[in-house]
């Protein structure tokens, strides 16, 4: 039995036999072919090469038209690498003389050539080996014309293990045959995670070595609740997980019965429960959910994987569909939080060489330095509000000062005036609020709250900045602690400051769906929470089982505590009593 | 045979993009074209060879062209270097 720890991407437990998605990664093992197969492998190589070159030409044309020839030459670099006699010649030689499969031959040739770059001392040039890896992977991806066939050939319900999965792969996924999947790479908001959520199956991503540690036919447990992958579990573990799975299933069906009931505590406190919505992962289940509205539409995806920023028209189409989907309920659209780990492909001002991107030019800072980006997005949102009578709320990410709020407000008012000149105006007033995730904004909130219509606390980043811990750094990740006294006190003080001016406060971030932390959030009198569709009914059920007065007592007690250990003991004891 | 010493005057050195330009340009001539830096000699028509030179800003490179169009080839490459590979505007 081997247990790997990854990132939970989609909740639930899946148990079954493993199938490995073949050939996406550079292999280190040598697979041999018979003499008669040499021509077939050479033909496969040539076919993949032509297809890859054609793809590169197509994207180069697109980039040249939109960005100019300087950028298109990056595509040419990959083309030249693939045609370079040093690479192509080596691959052909490995097939003809060493009788390797095209896949092995390409993998080995790429790795040999890249190894030459490892000897270079200058780190800048050393990094150039990545260009060779990338070009090699493009080629491999096209070599596996059989990948689709492979996926379609899965006839038994299985758990899919892959180095990475692409949206295009899912089209080929046989319906109801994939019970869950896990991947080596990816994070909570990566395309693989989104994919799992849209398929409504358990998934764990970011397992690093899963595709190497798992063999076809291994028994696997994918624990999407805790982000674990268990390979060949012992009898005890297997029995234990079967039990947990049964209980989860029971809870799921029980939860459906509360869908139409109001979100109130046992003693009648109304809490607004919103959903974090992503149009890419909408599915049948999500559509059945009755919610208080859309708490967070992340718009970054519109700006990623595109050589040019999205046009007003393209954004408008998406926002309009979202506004219609949520009808008259609030729909909160967050302005693009680009920068940090979400770097677009198109060039932007002030985005070169950011050594510490989380403290660098991201969110509203980036938008104010690229006013066209901000203006286009505001226009698309206002345009939407002119067409449908929706309750649209605009949320500004990464605000740290009142000046930033004023600048965005000015740009927003300018946009409204532009529309007014053409005789158009929003059918309902658009609210402008901020995401409070920078400690400076939390502490000095009284200075900007008058200029905001609402606020939402972005706890993932707020906690990270408060305790100065990068969650992806394994040395300190354990210090990322929602129970830290500073976290509770900050959230409480934000809510108090906002309530003094009668401003609505909601919380988004993982803490909102953490059943142990929920009583504290309710007790600090938060007005709303925003959670993922998958967690929606669970959180609703927890709220409906809470007693607001009891939560207030608990939350007051937590504010007086001086250590994480005390607060953790408090919420855990409370959790045990309830369950 | 023609030999010339050229200096890298673009700030980023011979990274992927300039390397691509060199390989593309070199491939347009029938002459044999080689680049030499610190006793390492590579075929200028191979982009990976050019990248492997790891030629940074300020370093100097010897180009050797040999063949029927060696004069034009040397001139074309010299122009690329002096234009900083169209990188800085």
CA–CA dist A70, A74 (Å, integer): 8
Give the Cα separation of A367 and A301 in Å (integer).
15
Report the pLDDT value the prediction gives residue A374, as an integer from 0 to 100: 97
Max mean pLDDT range (A67-71, A347-351, A546-550): A546-550
pLDDT tens sequence across A346-363: 777 655 556 677 788 899
In a domain, A83, yes or no: yes
Q: Is pLDDT of A403 > 80?
A: yes
pLDDT of residue A253: 86
Residue in A closest to B88 by C-alpha: A70
In this complex, the residue of B16, B24, B86 whose CB is nearest that of residue A128 is: B16
> Over 80: is that where the pLDDT of A297 sits?
yes
Specify the CATH number for the domain of residue A167. 3.50.30.10
Distance from CA of B20 to the nearest CA of A (A): 5
Shared domain for A7 and A48, answered yes or no, is no
**Which of A76, A108, A143 is a domain's end point?**
A143
Buried/exposed A371-381: b ≥16 CB within 10 Å, e otherwise: eebbbbbbbbb
A352: contact with B, CB 8 A cutoff: no
| Domain coverage including residue B41 | 2-86
CA distance A53 to A73: 13
pLDDT, position A353: 57
Judge whether A127 lies within some domain: yes
User: Contact, A225 vs A13, CB < 8 A?
Assistant: yes
Query: Domain check: are A357 and A384 in the same one?
Result: yes
Exactly one of A182, A361, A483, A508 is catalytic; name it.
A508
Note whether A428 and A454 are same-domain residues.
yes
- Which of A80, A116, A124 lies nearest to residue B52, judging by beta carbons? A116
Q: Are residues A379 and A494 in the same domain?
A: yes
pLDDT at A449 over 50: yes
Write the pLDDT tens digit of every residue in A500-542. Answer: 999 999 999 889 988 999 999 999 999 999 998 888 998 999 9
Q: How many domains does chain A have?
A: 3
Residue B47: CATH number of its domain: 3.30.1340.10
Q: Which residues of chain B have pLDDT under 50?
A: 89
Is A182 an annotated catalytic residue?
no
Q: What is the pLDDT of residue A68?
A: 64
Same domain for A61 and A135, yes or no, is yes
Q: Which of A76, A86, A122 sits opposite B56 (nearest CB)?
A: A122
Residue A312 · residue A383 · CB < 8 Å:
yes
Q: What CATH number is attached to the domain comprising A561?
A: 3.20.20.60
Q: Starting at the edge strand that comes first in sequence, how are the strands of the sheet with A7-10 ordered? A: A2-5, A228-231, A219-223, A13-20, A158-162, A178-183, A203-205, A7-10
Taking CB atoms and an 8 Å limit, are A85 and B52 in contact across chains? no
What is the residue-averaged pLDDT of chain A? 87
- Binning chain A into helix, strand and coil, the percentages to the nearest 5 are 55, 15, 30
Residues A61 and A191 in one domain: no
Same domain, A291 and A215: no
The percentage of chain A sitting over the pLDDT mark of 70, rounded to a whole number, equals 89
| Contact status of B7 with chain A (Cβ, < 8 Å) | no
Which pLDDT value is given to residue B89?
Answer: 47
pLDDT at position A308: 83
Distance from CA of A104 to the nearest CA of B (A): 20
Whether A297 and A321 share a structural domain: yes
At residue A284, the pLDDT reads 76
Task: Check the CA dihedral A223-A227-A233-A238 and report its sign.
Answer: negative
Taking CA atoms, what residue in B is nearest to A72?
Answer: B17
A113 vs B13, B16, B48: nearest CB: B48
In this structure, the answer to whether residues A273 and A337 fall within a common structural domain is: yes
- Confidence label for A199 from pLDDT (cuts 50, 70 and 90): confident
Q: Which residues of A touch B12 (CB under 8 A)?
A: 124
B22 touches chain A (CB under 8 A): no
Host domain of residue A363: 261-578
Residues A196 and A338 in one domain: no
- Total domains in the fold of chain B: 1
CATH number at residue A119: 1.10.274.10
Look at residue A30 and tell me if it is in a domain. no
CA distance A70 to A79: 15
Interface pTM (ipTM) of the complex? 0.75
Q: Are residues A459 and A358 in the same domain?
A: yes
Write down the pTM of the prediction: 0.67
Residues A139 and A173 placed together within one structural domain of the fold: no
Mean pLDDT (whole number) for A213-240: 93
Tell whether A74 lies on the interface with B, counting CB pairs under 8 A: yes
């Amino acid at each position: 039995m081997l247990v790997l720890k990854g990132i939970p991407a989609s909740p639930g437990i899946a148990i079954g036999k493993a199938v490995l998605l073949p050939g996406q990664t550079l292999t280190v093992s040598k697979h041999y072919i018979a003499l008669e197969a040499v021509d077939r492998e050479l033909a496969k190589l040539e076919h993949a090469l032509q297809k890859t070159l054609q793809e590169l030409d197509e994207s180069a044309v697109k980039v040249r038209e939109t960005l100019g020839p300087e950028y298109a030459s990056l595509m040419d670099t990959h083309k030249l690498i693939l045609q370079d006699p040093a690479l192509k010649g080596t691959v052909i030689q490995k097939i003809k003389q060493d009788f390797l499969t095209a896949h092995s031959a390409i993998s080995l040739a790429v790795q040999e050539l890249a190894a030459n770059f490892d000897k270079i001392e200058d780190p800048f040039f050393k990094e150039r080996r990545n260009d060779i890896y990338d070009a090699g992977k493009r080629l491999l991806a096209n070599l596996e014309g059989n990948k689709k066939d492979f996926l379609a050939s899965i006839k038994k319900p299985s758990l899919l293990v892959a180095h990475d999965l692409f949206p295009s792969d899912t089209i080929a996924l046989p319906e109801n045959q994939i019970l869950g999947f896990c991947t080596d790479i990816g994070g909570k908001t990566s395309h693989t995670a989104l994919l799992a959520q849209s398929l409504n199956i358990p998934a764990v991503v970011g397992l690093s070595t899963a595709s190497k540690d798992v063999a076809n036919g291994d028994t696997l447990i994918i624990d999407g609740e805790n982000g674990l992958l268990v390979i060949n579990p012992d009898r005890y573990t297997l029995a234990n997980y079967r039990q947990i799975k049964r209980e989860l299933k029971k809870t799921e069906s029980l939860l459906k019965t509360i869908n139409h009931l109001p979100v109130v505590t046992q003693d009648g406190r109304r809490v607004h429960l919103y959903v974090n919505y992503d149009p890419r992962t909408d599915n049948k289940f999500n559509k059945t959910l009755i919610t208080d509205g859309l708490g967070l539409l992340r718009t970054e995806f519109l700006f990623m994987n595109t050589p040019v920023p999205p046009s007003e028209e393209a954004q408008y189409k998406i926002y309009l569909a979202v506004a219609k989907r949520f009808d008259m309920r609030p729909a909160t659209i967050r302005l693009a939080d680009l920068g940090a780990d979400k770097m677009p492909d198109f060039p932007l001002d002030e985005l070169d060489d950011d050594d510490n991107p989380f403290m660098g030019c991201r969110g509203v800072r980036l938008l104010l330095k690229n006013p066209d980006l901000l203006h286009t997005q505001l226009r698309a949102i206002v345009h939407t509000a002119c067409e449908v009578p929706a309750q649209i709320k605009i949320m500004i990410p990464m605000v740290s000062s009142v000046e930033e709020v004023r600048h965005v407000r000015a740009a927003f008012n300018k946009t409204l005036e532009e529309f007014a000149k053409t005789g158009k105006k929003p059918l309902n007033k658009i609210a402008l609020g901020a995401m409070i995730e920078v400690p400076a904004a939390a502490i000095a909130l009284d200075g900007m709250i008058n200029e905001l219509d609402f606020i939402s606390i972005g706890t993932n980043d707020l906690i990270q900045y408060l305790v100065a811990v990068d969650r992806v750094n394994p040395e300190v990740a354990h210090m990322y602690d929602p129970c830290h006294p500073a976290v509770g006190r900050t959230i409480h003080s934000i809510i108090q400051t906002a309530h003094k001016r009668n401003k609505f406060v909601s919380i988004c971030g993982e803490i909102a769906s953490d059943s142990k932390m929920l009583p504290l959030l309710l007790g600090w009198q938060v007005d709303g929470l925003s959670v993922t569709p998958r967690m929606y009914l669970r959180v609703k059920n927890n709220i409906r089982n809470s007693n607001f007065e009891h939560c207030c007592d608990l939350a007051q007690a937590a504010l007086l505590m001086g250590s994480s250990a005390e607060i953790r003991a408090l919420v855990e004891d409370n959790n045990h009593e309830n369950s | 045979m023609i030999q010339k010493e050229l200096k890298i005057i673009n700030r980023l050195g011979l990274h992927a993009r300039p390397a691509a330009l060199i390989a593309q340009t070199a491939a347009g001539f029938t002459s044999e074209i080689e680049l030499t830096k610190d006793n390492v000699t590579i075929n200028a028509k191979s982009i990976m060879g050019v990248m492997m030179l790891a030629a940074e800003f300020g370093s100097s490179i010897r180009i050797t062209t040999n063949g029927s169009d060696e004069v034009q080839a040397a001139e074309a490459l010299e122009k690329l270097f002096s234009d900083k590979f169209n990188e800085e505007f």
